[in-house]
Amino acid sequence: MASKYDEDVYENPFFTKIISEHQDHLERAASSKGILCIPKFSVSSHASVTEVDITDHILLPTKENNNGEGDGGGEEDDDYITISGKYLHYFSYFYGKSSIVSELFVVSILEIAKGASSTVKHSSPASYQQCLDLLWSRPDRQKVRLSLDKIMESFAASYDSLEGESLRSIVRKSARHNRQYMENLKIAVETYMMNAVHKQLFRVITATMANEDAEINKITRNLVDLQLSDLGIRKIFSQNMIPAKKELGLLNRYSTPMGRLFCIKRVVAALTKPPREVKKEKRKDSVSMMTTDDLLPILIFLIIKSDIPNWMANLVYMQHFHFAKSSDDDEFGFYLASVEASIEHIRSGNLKNETMTLKRERWNSIIIQDPTDPASLSKSLSPLHTSIDDFFKLVQEGDEQKVVQMLDRPNKTTEEVQLKLCHPLCSCDKCDRLLAALRNNSDLVTAYTRDNRGYTALHIAAYYGQGMLIDQLVKHQAIVDATDYLGLTPLHLACQRGYQNVMCVKALVFYDANLNMLDINSTNEVGDTPLHLAAKWGYESIVKTLLESGADSTIQNRKKQTAVYLAQNIKVQRLLQLAADGLDLRPIRPKFESEAARPRQGSSTSSTSGSFLSTLRSPSISAKLDTDAPSFTVQTASLEEASEKEKHRHKEKLFKAIIEGDIQLVKFYLGIDGSHGIYDDLDDEEGSVVTMSPKSLADMCHPLCQCERCLNIQKASRYSKGLVDVNSRTSTGYCPVHMAVLHNHSDILGLLISLHADISAQNHKSLTPLHLACCVRNSLTTDMLIKAGAKLDIQDMNGDTPLLIAASNGFINGVHMLIQSRANLNVVNARGNTALHEALKRDHTDTAACLLKAGADPRIKNIHSQLPAQLTQDATTHALIRSAILILEDKAKERQKREKLRANSVIKKTKRDGEKQVSIRDLFSAFEKADLDNLQNLTSAIKSFNRDSALKKAETRDRSQTVLSDMARRHSIVSFNKGLLKKVKSLDRTDPLYTYSLFQEGCRVFDAQDNPNHVSRELDSLEKLTRSRDDSLNHVRNFSCYEGSNDWTIIFQKQRTPSGDLETENPEVKSCEKEADKMEGIVENGQDSDLCYETNNDEARPVLTKSMPASGTNFYGDVQGPQSQTAPPSITISTTDCNHETEQANLQAFNDSSSDDQLFSYLETDNTLPNANDSDSDTEQAQFKISIDCNSDLGNVLPQTQQFSSAANSSKGDTPHLIYGLNHESKLPAEVGLPSTSVHCDSGFLEESSSNRS
Amino acid sequence: MAASTGGGRNFNFKVVLLGEGCVGKTSLVLRYVENKFNDKHITTLQASFLNKKLNIGGKRVNLAVWDTAGQERFHALGPIYYRDSNGAILVYDITDEDSFQKVKSWVKELRRMLGTDVCLCIVGNKIDLEKSRHVTVQEAESYAASVGAKHFHTSAKMGRGIEELFLNLSKSMIEKAEENVGRGRPGNNRQSGVTVVDDEAEPTSGKSGCCG
């Protein structure tokens, strides 16, 4: 009952309260076999629990019932009394468990007990309303009620249709008169129905029964190696076992209870099928008769052997969902009862005890006479095997003490023997004898000994759930990941067996999680991971544990089944599904770790600080682990510490051995099996001496790989427990190599070099062994190091290279060697000294001479600006230095020369040969007499030449050209000389001849006043231009597009006469001059890069005289479209300049003087011009517009109109442009109003304007 | 399950054989069933479950005889076998005093679990070994009377008293069944979840409500 109730009683507040506060009542209940009633969680969590409540909930049997026989349970109609004295007529029968206090869950007893005064009785509900109240009185059940109501309604609605012409009526009609037929029909209906609902129904049943199934599975998995004889099954039945088992395996394939029952019947039939020989005999032969006494064990055996993980669910299914009666019913009933009995028997756990003794006997017999394995047979004959056997047996039984004892024995004896030895590596007779004795010790068992199934002790421990031993074994270096011959790791076994209660899985997983020792997803030979096994057998907690530890739920086994697929239990399925969906369960992991640590601590009784982990593991692995799992729990940290200590001890020993120069001992500590090694017997298989360094451990495929190669390495490594890394360091960073060099042990150095020790390792002062060798002036070690390829130019803390040290020590041999091996001669240390400085400072003149000879540069100054020469008074040295300098300089010169020569010659050569490469012979013939330097120069020259040729391909020049041209263009634009502008004459479309005649008049005036030749020349060009006017206009337009990118600024400087007057006496002349200038910008070509302007600007002439209002003002002009000629003459000036007023006045005066003239007034805003629009907003600030009309009445002065329309663009400044229009034409078409940056001068209009006037 | 159906003239009775190992339970039932059945009907040598059809006074009786395991290790499985049974045959070996004590404990257990609905027969087997009798007839019979059971002497070997035993048992079971029908309480169906009443009224309706 309790098991069917799904609440965890330990979460029940009522229960916890009793446990924590009312222990006395509990004990009383326990002592008198009372019943503890615990209200449902939903009830008890609401009410506050008082002591009275508790006493009300403990039922003590009244005297009469206390003497019931046994605890087999049964149907009872007993009276109980509560502790508080209330009588309770208790209406239930129950199978009293053997536990003393039966926990019973009563839904609402708390409330009833509170309400009732004396006798509490479950009165059955009398009315419908009462029933409803009973069921749905709690508000939290309303939801369920609603949904149920709905279902009921729909059922009621559909019931009518069922009532009609339905299956039922069919059944009835056809079976009215035939009872047998009716029965069959019932079966048919049932089968039909059950088949339809089977999937859902059975799933529900499985889920409900999951816990019990898991429990059974746990037991059955632990019994899989059960033998027929264990159960006392007679041999006569054994031959029927296989078909029966096959039959039973199909059980889950049948959908209906009926089918399953038939399946079981077939199983029994198969079992009782008489063997052929027996058939011929008399059937009454009692030997072949199967009684229940036979049947039960056989069924038990089959159930255990069958791979069906959901027996309980099957049982329930068959028992409760088979309704139709059949003629076989009674038989089914019996079989079912038998199966149930079998399961019950398995559950009871008696089987285990029963078979234990049998098994133990069998164990021994197997070992001694295993016919299948001759190898093991031969082994079993040896006494060694027997001890292993004993060992395994002890492991199986979980005899921790003895196991530890056995494991410790070899170590102890080894240690003892070692103490007796003269020297750890001594090989004198006495020592040999001692070692031989040790070797022959048959009691030597280790944690990695295997039995004939390939099981290690760890397997056995996992198999039999000896959780505590796992710790011990791992402490003794058991391989957590070892696989047996079927590819099963201990974790597989533990998962299959469901031993999470004894922490096996957790313990194993713990090692995996923290040490990466174990592949949690390792697969056995059919591809099952531990997760598969745990899921299949429904071990929820194991699945959880595995998932938390990062097991992959998506792995498929060889049948392409994932763990989810195999899971029978819905809870497990859900867990796995979650994991598969990527919901990481790992956040819980820290908690789990501590959980895992706790039982481990508790279980490993003898492990004090848990120093078991890597005590004897090679340091490289633990070092690796360090990096792999930086976040250890406190405990593992302590483990690391312990192992660190161990390591340290060994290291110390090693260093001591090195200092003492005991090469054998060094070899020993480094794990090299010399010919006198203690453990050489263990390497017999490998044949030769194995160099076992941690490095080779690192060479393994995986730290725990089991392949042949790795196994050998492992094997060797196991015995070199005290192994120290060749590159392990002291606290000051000294390596063994350092030590060997420092203490002049060349032999050890040689050994270390042969072990691939890092010979350029630097200690805390960045000293390499070579530094040290130079320090101690040992030529031999120096030589060895150099020959071994030590780096020569490493600088230590002070920037000293070995050469510097050798030089300062006057270690001339070292200097020689270093020079010969081409150490850098001119390295400067922290004090700025070269080797030469150092040598001379300490008066090692011969060293210095040597250095100088080798080409050390004496011209380098140290930080005190001292030359090497300044450091010595030795005359010969000075002379040497001088000569060296000379030589160096000469050499440098020579080199330069040669370089040039060679380069030239080579270039020539290559040039001559075209693309052909210079052949080696050519080189040699050419430079036969040249020394090595020259050859090098040559090659470098060749190289550089080649590079040059390669550079040709790069088109850098092209790129720079474009940039340069762009820059040049910009520059040319900026520094544009307007004087170079070509004249452009934009003429009106009116008759050129007429214009010409008019113009000639004007020219005459010019001629008279100024340079006639000049003007006439200009006129000629003007003529030409007139013809091509339209073209030029087009160009101008094109240019306007371009204009935006070029900044054009033309500065007009107002030139005033010294009088400050506005030259009123001769404005016309000026204007005329201006006009004659004909500054015109022509855009000759639309091409953006080729802008050419030519201007014939007479420098001598004043530019813009009277009309410029302010000095130093920049004007940016916009050409405005002309107004109509009929506008009254006026001059409008608007400016922001400070001189505005005076200018205005002046202009006014000027205007007065020429009042008759027609005025061309131009308004600043002319929408016909796009450019004007652009700059509209900007032009408002500073605009200057002048319209001047000159009166032709002023004698011979030509009527002129000057129009400047300048729109300042200064506020923006980005595209200031000028339109400088000199319009002599009133009817200038809109398009003639040139866009910015054009200068337009037209003389043709003069005629027109005058004609207009006339 | 094998509930007695007292409504018609057909009776289905479940009879369970209990007793210590080696008292001859299997032999008893084999002798009984085998004598009546043709050889060909026994297709197997399976002797733990046997069916026997009787006609007593016009009433058809179907006896389902369940043999149980006598070994002590399976004792705890008793309830699975004897629940819902209408009759129980408690066998002891007259040469073995212990087996009789075992019968006593079985009787107690059966009365406790099944109440008075079950018909008990105490059978002293192996009367062919009368010489080495250890359980006196008087002791056995007085005990049987005290617990409301009938006592029989049988010999499976000789085939004595077996017919009588089963016939008597069947009769008393019929009586009991009819009694129960009269009281309106047919049999004891305490723990089976769903019982489909076999009255043709609702052959299928039970299926929907049982998946609790």
Q: Look at B48 and A273 and tell me if their CB atoms are within 8 Å.
A: no
Q: Which of A360-374, A527-541, A699-713 has the lowest mean pLDDT?
A: A360-374
Query: Between residues 152 and 211 of chain B, which touch chain A (CB distance below 8 Å)?
Result: 190, 192-194, 196, 198, 200, 203-204, 206-208, 210-211
Mean pLDDT, to the nearest integer, of B194-204? 43
User: Averaging pLDDT over each range in A68-77, A514-523, A1144-1153, which range is the top one?
Assistant: A514-523
Mean pLDDT, to the nearest integer, of A225-249? 75
Closest chain A C-alpha to B25 CA, distance in angstroms: 9
- Chain-centroid distance of CA A393 in Å reads 46
Is it the case that residue A1143 has pLDDT exceeding 50?
A: no
B121, B89 in Cβ contact below 8 A?
A: yes
End-to-end CA distance of chain A: 132
Predicted pLDDT of residue A963: 77
Q: Is A321 left (phi over 0), alpha (psi -120 to 50) or beta?
A: alpha
Closest-approach residue (CA) in chain A for B29? A291
Tens-place pLDDT, residues A664-694: 777 777 766 544 433 333 333 333 334 444 4
Supply B101's token pair: 């004590």
Residue A175 is classified by DSSP as T
Strand pairing partners for A981?
A1094
A274 touches chain B (CB under 8 A): yes
Separation CA A857–CA A880 (nearest Å):
12
Predicted pLDDT of residue A800: 84
Predicted pLDDT of residue A618: 36
Is it the case that residue A1145 has pLDDT exceeding 60?
A: no
Mean pLDDT, to the nearest integer, of A1065-1081? 44
Separation CA B17–CA B1 (nearest Å):
17
Separation CA A482–CA A505 (nearest Å):
15
Separation CA A208–CA A538 (nearest Å):
12
Q: Residue A330: which of B14, B25, B109 has the nearest Cβ?
A: B14
Binning pLDDT at 50, 70 and 90, where does residue A1011 land? low
Binning pLDDT at 50, 70 and 90, where does residue A71 land? very low
Higher pLDDT, A581 or A121: A581
Binning pLDDT at 50, 70 and 90, where does residue B146 land? very high
Q: Look at B203 and A189 and tell me if their CB atoms are within 8 Å.
A: yes
Q: Look at B48 and A292 and tell me if their CB atoms are within 8 Å.
A: yes
Phi and psi angles of residue A1219, each rounded to the nearest 5 degrees, phi first: -120, 115
Tens-place pLDDT, residues A1017-1057: 656 666 666 555 555 455 444 444 444 444 443 344 444 44
Separation CA A168–CA A970 (nearest Å):
105
What CA–CA distances, in Å, run from A990 to A1027, A1121, A1225, A1228? Answer: 11, 19, 11, 11
A10, A28 in Cβ contact below 8 A?
A: no
Q: What is the largest CA-CA distance in chain B?
A: 61
Tens-place pLDDT, residues A702-761: 544 555 555 555 545 444 444 667 777 777 777 888 888 888 888 888 888 887 778 788
Q: Which residues of A touch B192 (CB under 8 A)?
A: 319-320
Instruction: Describe chain A by its helix, strand, coil percentages, rounded to 5.
Output: 55, 5, 40
Higher pLDDT, A144 or A54: A144
Separation CA A341–CA B89 (nearest Å):
19
Closest-approach residue (CA) in chain A for B3? A330
Q: Which helix (H) or strand (E) holds B167?
A: helix B162-183
Q: Look at A283 and B193 and tell me if their CB atoms are within 8 Å.
A: no
Q: Which of A529, A435, A442 is nearest to A491 (CA)?
A: A529
Q: Is A187 helix (H, G, I), strand (E, B) or coil?
A: helix
A5, A178, A292, A354: best to mutate for the B interface, most B CBs within 10 A: A292
User: Averaging pLDDT over each range in A106-115, A610-619, A894-903, A1070-1079, which range is the top one?
Assistant: A894-903
Tens-place pLDDT, residues A960-983: 667 778 888 888 877 777 777 766
End-to-end CA distance of chain B: 19
The residue with tokens 């159960």 is A231
Predicted pLDDT of residue A1103: 39
Mean pLDDT, to the nearest integer, of A431-457? 63
Predicted pLDDT of residue A615: 35
Separation CA A1150–CA A1186 (nearest Å):
12
A330 touches chain B (CB under 8 A): yes
Residue A978 is classified by DSSP as G
Predicted pLDDT of residue A111: 37
Q: Look at B192 and A69 and tell me if their CB atoms are within 8 Å.
A: no
Q: Which residues of B touch A329 (CB under 8 A)?
A: 1-2
Q: What is the largest CA-CA distance in chain A?
A: 166
Binning pLDDT at 50, 70 and 90, where does residue A1111 land? very low
B70 touches chain A (CB under 8 A): yes
Is it the case that residue A635 has pLDDT exceeding 60?
A: no
Binning pLDDT at 50, 70 and 90, where does residue B2 land? very low
Predicted pLDDT of residue A818: 84
Closest chain B C-alpha to A78 CA, distance in angstroms: 12
Supply A762's token pair: 């630097």
The total of other beta-carbon atoms located within 10 Å of residue A418's CB is 15
Binning pLDDT at 50, 70 and 90, where does residue A793 land? confident
A166 touches chain B (CB under 8 A): no
Closest chain A C-alpha to B102 CA, distance in angstroms: 13
Q: Which of A404, A492, A504 is nearest to A464 (CA)?
A: A504
Q: Which residues of B touch A70 (CB under 8 A)?
A: 109
Is it the case that residue B120 has pLDDT exceeding 70?
A: yes
Burial of A947 (0-12, 13-18, 19+ CB in 10 A): exposed
Closest chain A C-alpha to B26 CA, distance in angstroms: 7
Predicted pLDDT of residue B69: 80
Burial of A1221 (0-12, 13-18, 19+ CB in 10 A): buried
- What percent of chain A clears pLDDT 70, i.e. is strictly above it? 39
Q: Look at A334 and B105 and tell me if their CB atoms are within 8 Å.
A: no
Q: Which of A209, A205, A166 is nearest to A189 (CA)?
A: A166
Separation CA A425–CA A667 (nearest Å):
10
Mean pLDDT, to the nearest integer, of A768-777? 84
The residue with tokens 């003269």 is A422
- E strand residue ranges, A933-1045: 981-982
Query: Between residues 392 and 421 of chain A, which touch chain B (CB distance below 8 Å)?
Result: none
A584, A552 in Cβ contact below 8 A?
A: no
Q: Look at A292 and B1 and tell me if their CB atoms are within 8 Å.
A: no
Supply A1161's token pair: 């007034």
Phi and psi angles of residue A1079, each rounded to the nearest 5 degrees, phi first: -70, 115
- Chain-centroid distance of CA A413 in Å reads 49
Separation CA A238–CA A250 (nearest Å):
20
Q: Is A1221 helix (H, G, I), strand (E, B) or coil?
A: strand
Side chain identity, residue A462: A
User: Averaging pLDDT over each range in A110-114, A296-300, A869-873, A899-903, which range is the top one?
Assistant: A296-300
Separation CA B48–CA A1227 (nearest Å):
135
Work out the mean pLDDT of chain A and round it to a whole number: 61
Relative to beta strand A1201-1207, strand A1183-1189 is antiparallel
A205, A319 in Cβ contact below 8 A?
A: no
Q: Which of A250-264, A391-405, A1216-1230 has the lowest mean pLDDT?
A: A1216-1230
B119, B88 in Cβ contact below 8 A?
A: yes
DSSP A78-111: -EEEETTS-EEE----B---SSSSEEEEESSHHH
Closest chain B C-alpha to A187 CA, distance in angstroms: 10
Binning pLDDT at 50, 70 and 90, where does residue A986 land? low
Burial of A75 (0-12, 13-18, 19+ CB in 10 A): middle
Q: Which of A370-384, A546-560, A769-783, B22-36 has the lowest mean pLDDT?
A: A370-384
Q: In b/e form, how buried is each residue of A1169-1183, taking b as 16+ CB within 10 angstroms?
A: bebbebbeebbeebb
Closest chain A C-alpha to B153 CA, distance in angstroms: 22
Q: Residue B2: which of A70, A72, A330 has the nearest Cβ?
A: A330
B39, B60, B63, B77: best to mutate for the A interface, most A CBs within 10 A: B77
Mean pLDDT, to the nearest integer, of A189-203? 78
Q: Which of A155-159, A240-244, A841-845 has the lowest mean pLDDT?
A: A155-159
Predicted pLDDT of residue A104: 42
Side chain identity, residue A448: Y
Contacts with A332 (C-beta within 8 Å, 6 or more apart), sequence order: A261, A264, A265, A322, A326
A1221, A1081 in Cβ contact below 8 A?
A: no
A840, A862 in Cβ contact below 8 A?
A: no
Tens-place pLDDT, residues B73-106: 788 888 888 888 889 999 898 888 888 998 899 8
Separation CA A216–CA A206 (nearest Å):
13
Three-class HEC string of A874-912: CHHHHHHHHHHHHHHHHHHHHHHHHHHHHHHHHHHHHHH
Higher pLDDT, A416 or A593: A416
Higher pLDDT, A886 or A1125: A886
Closest chain A C-alpha to B133 CA, distance in angstroms: 25
Q: Is A356 helix (H, G, I), strand (E, B) or coil?
A: helix
The C-alpha angle with vertex A240 and arms to A235 and A245, in degrees rounded to 5, equals 115
Binning pLDDT at 50, 70 and 90, where does residue A1246 land? very low
Three-class HEC string of B92-132: EECCCHHHHHHHHHHHHHHHHHHCCCCEEEEEEECHHHHHH
Contacts with A204 (C-beta within 8 Å, 6 or more apart), sequence order: B211
Q: Which of A525-539, A610-624, A668-682, A987-1001 has the lowest mean pLDDT?
A: A610-624
Residue B46 is classified by DSSP as B
Tens-place pLDDT, residues A812-858: 888 888 888 888 878 888 888 888 888 888 888 888 888 888 877 77
Mean pLDDT, to the nearest integer, of A21-30? 73
The total of other beta-carbon atoms located within 10 Å of residue B96's CB is 20
Is it the case that residue A407 has pLDDT exceeding 60?
A: yes
Binning pLDDT at 50, 70 and 90, where does residue B142 land? very high
Is it the case that residue A221 has pLDDT exceeding 70?
A: yes
B33, B48, B53, B62: best to mutate for the A interface, most A CBs within 10 A: B48
Separation CA A787–CA A807 (nearest Å):
20
Tens-place pLDDT, residues A1183-1200: 444 444 444 444 444 444
Relative to beta strand A102-106, strand A35-39 is parallel
